[in-house]
Structure 1
Amino acid sequence: MDKYRLKFNDEFNKYIQLYAHIKSLIDKNQIEDGEKLPSIRELADFLKLNKVTIINAYKKLQAEGYANQKIGSGTYAKRRDSIRGFKKSYSITFKRLSSGRLSDVIDFTGETTSADFFPVADLKAVLNDVLDRDGAEALIYQDVLGYEKLRERINEKFWDNKLDFDDILIVSGAQQGIDIVSKALINVNDNIIVEKPTYSGALSVFKSRKANIFEVPIEKDGVDLEALKKILKKNKIKCFYFMSYFQNPSTVSYSNYKKEELLKLAEEHDFYIIEDDYLSELIYDESTKYSSMKSYDKNDRVIYIKSFSKIFLPGIRIGYLVCPRIFKDSVQNSKVNTDISTSSLMQRALEMYMEREYWIEHIKLLNVKYKERYDFMKTEIQNKLNESVEFNPPGGGLHFYLKLSDRIQINSIELFYKLREKGVLITPGVMFYKHSNEGERYFKIGFSQTDCDKIRKGIDIISSVLSEEAKVYGVPNN
C-alpha cells in the first residue's frame, strides 16, 4: 500500500492528483498490468480521504483507459497502450499523411535532408553527362560489388586510398547494409549487443534473425564499458552494433578513448563491430573531430556502413560497406540474394558528382543551413522547455533527444497523441528500446524538415501542451 501514499497539494482537486499518481505508477510498471487496485474503502482509509474522491479517481482511470472495473471483483490496472499497438498507430499516421498533407503539419520526425537543399541542378547536369558519356551502358547491371569507378572514388575521397577498393561493397542505403551484414553473420540464437537506446531499424533486423539481443546503456561519450564487460564475461558475443556520431536517437558521439577500448575488447573476446557511420558530415561544434572506428581498426574487426541517402538524395538509395576479409564472400553472397545490383545510373552519377567536387560544396551548404536550424532549435528548447525537459546538445546531426522532467506526468506516447491533434509530429522514445516499458520519458525532435518559423511554432505548441499537463496533474508552474 505504501506506493499509493501521496502528499496532496491544496491548490488542486485531490481526485485529479490521485488519478495522476496511480496513472504514473502504472506507466512506470510500479503497478503491473492487470494488478488489482485497493478497494475504495481500503484506499480511502489509507489516504484519509472520503470515498467519493477515490470513486472519482477510479472513474477517471477507467475513462482514460488505465483501469477496468470487474463487477463484484474490483478495479484492475491496465496499461493504456502497448508498444506494439502504438507502433501500428505511429505507422498509420504517416501512411495517412500524403506528401501534400505533410506540408500542413510540423514534422519533427524527419531523418533525411530537406528537399529545399537538394542539388537538383547539379544532379540533372551530371545525369545528362553520364548518359551522353556512357549511353545504354549506364543502364545495365553492374558488378555485384558495385560500379568500379565509384568504389575507387570512395576509396580516394574518404579513405585516402588506404583500402583495397575491392573491399568496398555498394548497397542500397544503410538499412540494406545492416540487413545484408546480419544475414551473412548472424544465425538463430547468436548473441549480439546494441546500445540502449538504439536505431529501431537495426533492432527490427536483429529480431528478424532471431538473435539474442543484449542492451548496454549509452553514456555521454559512448557505451557504458563496465556494463559491456559484464556481458562479455558471461556470454559469447557475435557482434556489437553502434553508431559512432550523433547516435540515433541519443545524439551521443563516441570519444576516441571508447573507440580504442571497444576495439581492444573485440580482439580480446573475439567479436565483431558493426559501425553505422550516421550523419558524421554534419558537425557544428568545432570541438568534435571526426575519426571513424574503422580508421583505428588494425585487426580487421570493424564492419563499416555508410549511407549517402541521409545527406544527399534519399531517393537514390546508395551507400556502401567495408567488412573484414573473413566475411567478404558471405557478405557479397548476401547482397546477391537481397538484390542483384544497386542502380547503375545513380552509381555513375554519384561517382561523377564526387569527381567534380560537387559533393564537398553540397556538404558545406548543408552544414551552414542546418547549423542555423540547430542553433535556433537549441535556443527555443532552452528558453521555452527548460522546466519541462532535460537534454544534452549534441553539437551536430539532425535532431535532439529530450527527457521529460519529473514535473510532467504524461509519457511520450500520450504526448505524441496530444501533439498530433495540434498538427505537430514527434517520435516517442519507446521506438528505440527492446522492451516496451522503457523510453516513455523520452522523445526525439528533428529539424531536417522544418525551417525556423515551423520550429518556433512547433516548440510553442509543445511548451503549451506540457505546461497544461503540469497544471492539470497538480504541479504548479514556476
Structure 2
Amino acid sequence: MTPASAPASASAHASAATATAVPASPSSPVPPLADRVRTTGGSPVRDILAVTARPEVINFAGGLPAPELFDREGVADAFRHVLEEAPAQALQYATTEGEPALRERLAARVTARGLPTDADDLLVTTGSQQALSLLATALVDPGDTVLVEEPCYLAALQAFGLAGARIVAVPGDADGPDPDALAALVARERPKLLYTVPTFQNPTGRTLPAGRRAALAAVAARHGLWIVEDDPYGELRYDGEHVPWIAAHPGARDRTVLLGSFSKVMAPGLRLGWLRAPAELRRACAVAKQAADLHTPTVNQLAAARYLDVRDLDAHVRRVAAVYRERRDAMLAGLPDALPQGSVWNSPDGGMFLWARLPESYDTTALLPQVLRQDVAYVPGAPFYAGEPDRSTLRLCFVTQTPEEIGEGLRRLGKGLLGR
C-alpha cells in the first residue's frame, strides 16, 4: 500500500463502519394499485375453470368450443404454407390495422352476409375481446355512462368497468333491450354507447328479432348514441334464418361498431378478431391498439388468410353447427329431470349457451360448491348483471361435451341441486 492510498483506504473503512452503525429505516409501502383494477373484479368464469380443470369434471361452465371439431389439418397446413412461402413476412412486424390479405377476405365475408364492407373499414384485433378494450379506451372517459343488456356478457362489464364507466342496464324482455326504456335512459343519462350481443347472446342464448333491432337502431339515430354490436356466435345457427345486423340498418350505419371473431368458428387459440367502424372511431382504435400491442401476430393473420383461400370455412361451420345442434338437443332433453320443478329455460336457435332460471328460493351461487362436489359445473347468473342480480339464474354451455357426457353431467347436476 502506498502512503497516498493509505488515508483513502482508512476513510473507506470508517465510512463502512458508520454505515453499518446507522439503524435501517423502515421501508415505505409501494404506491397502491390503480382504482380501476381495485374496483373491477376478476372473471368468475375463469375462476371456475381453474377449479374444474380436473378431467373427471363435466364442465358446463366454460364457453369453450369443442376441440375435437377444430380443423387441425387445415389450420396446420395454412401455417406450414406461410412459414415456408413467406417466412420473412410471417415472422416480421406488421401494420397495426392488420394484414391486407386478411382484411380483404374478412370484408368479402361480411359483405356476403349482407353488409357491404371494404378492407379499409376493418381493424384486425387480438380476439374480439381486445376490440372491447380498444373501444373503451377510444370512447369512454371515467364517469361516462355505458348502457348494457341485462344480463350482459361478463367480459364487457369488465372492459367498460376498467375504463371507469358508469354501467347502467337497459330494462328488457325475452326479445332483448326495450327500445322505449332505451330512449328514456338515453335522454336521462346521456350515455356514450349501448353494448349488445344480439345473436345467440352470452349468457342467455337469446336472439333479438329484426323488429327489435330496427327499433334500437332508430333510437340511436334519433338520440345520438353509439351501438357496439358484438357478434362472435352469429354463424353458429342451427335453426331459423339469419337476422340482419343492426349495423345494416341505414339509420345506424354511421354509429354502429360491429365486432367479429374467428374464435368460435376456426379456433380461439389464434386470437383473431376484428372490428368494423366509421373511419374516425376506427382510427382512434388503431391508435389505442398501437399502445396496447402494436399489431395482432402476423403469422396468425397470414395463416387465417391462407385458410380462407384454400378451405371452405362455411362448410366447416355447417359441420360444427350440426354437431352442436345435437348437443343442444341432448341438454334440452335432460333438463326437466336435472332442474327443480318450476324451473324455466330457453331453447336457443344457435350459439353455445342456454339460460335457466330456478325457483326464486334457489341461489345458484350458494349452491355451486355442493354441485362441484358432484364433478359438474355451471356458471351462476349473478355476475352477468350490472344491476340487481337474479340469483336464481345460471348459464350452461352445451357444446363442449358429447350427448352422452351431457346426459351424465345433467344427472350429476340434478344430484347436486336436488340431493338425489
Unaligned runs of 5+ in 1: 1-83, 470-478
CA distance in 2, matches of 1:442, 1:238: 29
Counterpart of 1:175 in structure 2 is 129
Query: 8 Å contact 1:432–1:439 — kept in the other structure?
Result: no
Bigger relative CO (Cα 8 Å, ≥ 6 apart): 2
Structure 1: distance between partners of 2:213 and 2:257: 14
Residue matched to 1:412:
364
Cα distance, 1:85 vs. partner?
Answer: 12
Q: Equivalent residue for 2:75?
A: 123
Match of 2:405 among 425, 434, 454: 454
Residue 217, structure 1, aligned to residue 160, structure 2: no
Contact 2:194/2:226 (CA < 8 Å) preserved in 1? yes
Separation in structure 1 between the aligned mates of residue 44 and residue 301 of structure 2, nearest angstrom: 36
Question: Which AA in structure 2 matches 1:415?
Answer: L
Moved more, 326-335 or 167-176: 326-335
SS of equivalent to 1:422: coil
Q: In the alignment, residue 332 of structure 1 is paired with which amino acid?
A: A
Distance 1:367 1:90, change over 3 A: closer
Q: Cα RMSD between the aligned structures?
A: 2.1
1:444 aligned residue (387, 395, 411): 395
Deviates more, 1:348-357 or 1:313-322: 348-357
From the superposition, tell whether residues 392 and 183 of structure 1 become closer, same or farther in structure 2 (CA, over 3 Å). same
Query: Are the structure 2 counterparts of residues 320 and 90 from structure 1 closer, same or farther at C-alpha, using a change threshold of 3 Å?
Result: closer
Question: How many aligned positions are there?
Answer: 379
Summarize the alignment of residues 365-380 of structure 1 with structure 2, pairs less than 5 Å apart. Answer: 365-380=319-334
Task: Kindly provide the CA deviation profile for residues 337-373 of structure 1, in whole angstroms up to 9, marking residues without a partner as x.
Answer: 1111111111111111112233122101111110110
SS of 1:123's equivalent in the other structure is helix
What's the counterpart of residue 296 of structure 1? 249
Give the corresponding residue for 1:247: 201
Bigger mean CA deviation after superposition, 159-168 or 222-231: 159-168
Cα distance in 2, alignment partners of residues 399 and 89 from structure 1: 16
1:346 maps to 2:346: no
Residue 233 (structure 1) shift: 2.3
AA of the residue aligned to 1:449: T
Shift of 1:310: 2.4
Task: Name the TM-score, length of structure 2 as normaliser.
Answer: 0.85
Displacement, 1:90? 6.4
User: What do the CA deviations read for 1:307-346 (whole angstroms, capped 9, x no partner)?
Assistant: 1112321111001001122313211101111111111111
User: Residue in 2 aligned with 1:423?
Assistant: 375
Paired residue for 2:259, among 305, 323, 337? 305
Q: Please list every run of 5 or more consecutive structure 2 residues that lacks an aligned counterpart in the other structure.
A: 1-38
Structure 2 letter corresponding to 1:278: P
1:141-170 CA-to-partner distances (Å, cap 9, x unmatched) read 111110001000111122148222112000
Question: What fraction of aligned residue pairs are identical, expressed as a percent?
Answer: 26
Distance 1:266 1:212, change over 3 A: same
**Could you say which residue in structure 1 is the equivalent of 2:33?**
none
Residue matched to 1:95: 50
- Return the alpha-carbon distance in structure 2 between the equivalents of residues 347 and 204 of structure 1: 27
Tell me how far 1:174 sits from its aligned partner: 1.3
- Residue 339 of structure 2 aligns to which amino acid in structure 1? L
Provide the secondary structure at the position in 2 that maps to 1:381.
helix
Superposed CA offset, 1:90-137 (max 9, x none): 654433554xx2x21000012121111111111111111222221221
SS at the partner of 1:196? coil
How far apart are 1:379 and its partner, in Å? 1.2
Q: Distance in 1 between matches of 2:143 and 2:119?
A: 33
Length-normalised TM-score, structure 1: 0.75
Shift of 1:89: 7.4
- The residue aligned with 1:53 is none
Matched, 1:468 2:419: yes
Q: Aligned to 1:400, what secondary structure does the other structure show?
A: strand
1:290 corresponds to which letter in structure 2? V
Deviation track 1:55-91 (CA, whole Å, cap 9, x = no partner) reads: xxxxxxxxxxxxxxxxxxxxxxxxxxxxx99968765
**Aligned partners of 1:251 and 1:400 also within 8 Å:** yes
Following TM superposition, by how much is the alpha carbon of 1:386 offset from its aligned partner in structure 2, in angstroms?
6.8
| Alpha-carbon contact 2:41-2:158 (below 8 Å) kept | no
Kindly report which structure 2 residues correspond to 1:2-401, keeping only aligned pairs within 5 A, or say none: 91-98=46-53, 101=54, 103-160=55-112, 162-286=116-240, 288-298=241-251, 299-385=253-339, 387-401=341-355
- The answer to whether the Cα contact below 8 Å between 2:357 and 2:394 also exists between their aligned partners in 1 is yes
Aligned to 1:34: none
Quote the offset at 1:262 in angstroms. Answer: 1.2
1:87/1:301 Cα in 2 relative to 1: closer, same or farther (>3 Å)?
closer
- Residues 349/370 of structure 1: CA separation in 2 closer, same or farther (3 Å cut): same
| Counterpart in the other structure of 1:43 | none
Q: What is the alpha-carbon distance in structure 2 between the residues aligned to residue 119 and residue 277 of structure 1?
A: 21
Q: Distance in 2 between matches of 1:199 and 1:274?
A: 12
- Equivalent residues of 2:52, 2:59 under 8 A apart: no
For 1:452 and 1:353, the matched residues in 2 are separated by 30
CA offset at residue 389 of structure 1? 1.7
Aligned partner of residue 354 in structure 2, secondary structure? strand
